[in-house]
Structure 1
């Protein structure tokens, strides 16, 4: 009887709790734990307890009816085996204790996982900041700008001095804003204007720049350099490849609880094989680190234009 009880008890316990564990893993979401999840846990525990109790009654009946003759001690031990409420209450206690233990272990594992993810994010953030610095200070842009300003000095000294000031502002901005998570839109637009003015020395009339920025977005905060990187990408991979030049359109607007930043440029979506796409990867990585899955970035070709779009949530602050 002892051997039978151990084997059957182990089977019933494993069977009942396996069903419960399967249900909890599929239907209880610990990331959004709330009242609904608590109700699911209670109801599933009661169902598992009922299964546990009914199986005890069933195997007890099998042993009494078809097993060896019971001794007085065994008869005393089997008293009440057929009382459903007694079995269910005992089962609720045992299965409930198992459920609490399971949830505690699950919580500890979740906390440990979150800690590991935070450490990985911190490491990734440091690397992203380094990549940001690398992506911001474009040596080709600096060389071209200095070369163009040198040529401009022969024609207009005052204009060349102004362009040198704008270039120094871009470099200063890149270095000082590297460790800052967000800045006002209006501050980012100042750098964009400086970049466009420097680019127009090279492109002259081949570059048309249009801004469509809603007034109520100017004080909203965004990660630094993301607009400038989009404009630089549109200029370098779009306008510079067109003989007759083209247009870059910058639109910033709100839609619902999100801020949208769109940069459209004339041309086709062609990325050269030797391109590292560091700027685009930079944007995606920083958005992921700061907003998780609540922000998005996409690059696509629409008709004869290439559109880069960034969506940033307004309802919540960045996580860093």
Structure 2
């Protein structure tokens, strides 16, 4: 989860105080025979020096080092600023050490040995480089991890937005694609049989109502999808009359499983448009749905040959492939092949 700027700042200050306090506590408690006053002074002042110098360093790094375009200039800035912070760290150690020696309580022998050379600035700075350098490395590692996490979240949000936009576009293709085909059928029968035309309009309105109400969701129960398929078949049978035979073999344990809306209807429509409609004697469409292990298998067989014309947009087939890929990635599959004078379309959808 991405941390807010306020929470990151709070976490930084807590880690600063606790971290430097812990380091100085260890340094103050290891030596033997030192006074309580010396321990308290070392912890408080050491923590103050560490927090002050590294907080100034952090302020500089945040405003002058661009991690998005990290290069030689940024490395130089980090090295120079680290050396300057270490110098400040060492000078403050010398200053507060002088204050304690000159104005503090009498020193024990152990404390006197501890303060030997406290006024040697270069020694203090060199010692400080190690501490401040370790702090910089830790800071940069945390900064990098937060940046990587932020980039990951942004990519996920972008992919989610893109996928949803693509899904909405694909869903929007279904309605006009199906509607134009149905309206053409109605137009052909309008002057021949008014009753049949009226019945086709009723079926069409039911199908369009279904597609519109399910347009904002990504999955529905199989039984709801079968209702629109039945309406489509009834609609098509009015046109094809006895030329169309529809057989449905659906296992009962699949009726409540969830699938993308309109996906079976597209298979049936493709079988009708590119299969049965091209055969003078008509043919059969078989719909079979079953569950195998953790996958749902949807199969549509139609009489005919797999012969997609060059001028075909293959809108329905492409729609199915893209929706499955967007919703299930590589876990779903769709294949279309010709087997023994039949065109077989099979979809495999993961259930877990």
Query: Unaligned 5+ residue runs, structure 2?
Result: 1-136
Q: C-alpha distance in 2, partners of 1:233/1:108?
A: 48
SS in 2 for 1:137: helix
Partner of 1:112: 151
The verdict on how the C-alpha distance between 1:292 and 1:110 changes in structure 2, with shifts beyond 3 A counting, is: farther
Q: C-alpha distance in 1, partners of 2:330/2:147?
A: 24
2:238 to 164, 182, 201: 201
Alignment partner of 1:233 is 2:270: yes
Alignment partner of 1:188 is 2:239: no
Q: C-alpha distance in 1, partners of 2:180/2:155?
A: 39
Q: C-alpha distance in 1, partners of 2:249/2:167?
A: 30
The answer as to whether partners of 1:133 and 1:175 remain within 8 angstroms in 2 is no
Partner of 1:130: 169
Alignment partner of 1:290 is 2:330: no
The answer as to whether partners of 1:145 and 1:198 remain within 8 angstroms in 2 is no
Q: C-alpha distance in 2, partners of 1:301/1:104?
A: 57
Tell me how far 1:164 sits from its aligned partner.
Answer: 2.2
1:99-142 per-residue CA deviation (whole Å, 9 max, x = no partner) reads xx889957853662453244134223213312322233324312
Query: Unaligned 5+ residue runs, structure 1?
Result: 1-97, 316-320
Partner of 1:262: 299
SS in 2 for 1:249: strand
The answer as to whether partners of 1:239 and 1:247 remain within 8 angstroms in 2 is yes
2:186 to 134, 146, 159: 146
The answer as to whether partners of 1:184 and 1:219 remain within 8 angstroms in 2 is yes
The verdict on how the C-alpha distance between 1:257 and 1:147 changes in structure 2, with shifts beyond 3 A counting, is: same
* 1:49-68 equivalences in 2 (<5 Å): none
Alignment partner of 1:164 is 2:204: no
1:132-182 per-residue CA deviation (whole Å, 9 max, x = no partner) reads 22233324312233225525644xx3x554432211011111222111111
User: TM-score by structure 1 length?
Assistant: 0.61
The answer as to whether partners of 2:263 and 2:320 remain within 8 angstroms in 1 is yes
2:252 to 177, 201, 215: 215
The answer as to whether partners of 2:170 and 2:323 remain within 8 angstroms in 1 is no
Q: C-alpha distance in 1, partners of 2:142/2:295?
A: 36
User: TM-score by structure 2 length?
Assistant: 0.56
| TM-align CA RMSD | 2.7
Tell me how far 1:237 sits from its aligned partner.
Answer: 0.9
Partner of 2:6: none
By relative contact order (CA 8 Å, sep 6+), the higher-ranking structure is 1
The answer as to whether partners of 1:137 and 1:174 remain within 8 angstroms in 2 is no
Greater Cα radius of gyration, structure 1 or 2: 2
The verdict on how the C-alpha distance between 1:245 and 1:170 changes in structure 2, with shifts beyond 3 A counting, is: same
Partner of 1:179: 216
The answer as to whether partners of 2:200 and 2:238 remain within 8 angstroms in 1 is no
Tell me how far 1:220 sits from its aligned partner.
Answer: 1.0
Q: How many residues align?
A: 217
Q: C-alpha distance in 2, partners of 1:239/1:111?
A: 53
The verdict on how the C-alpha distance between 1:160 and 1:294 changes in structure 2, with shifts beyond 3 A counting, is: same
Alignment partner of 1:310 is 2:347: yes
The verdict on how the C-alpha distance between 1:300 and 1:110 changes in structure 2, with shifts beyond 3 A counting, is: farther
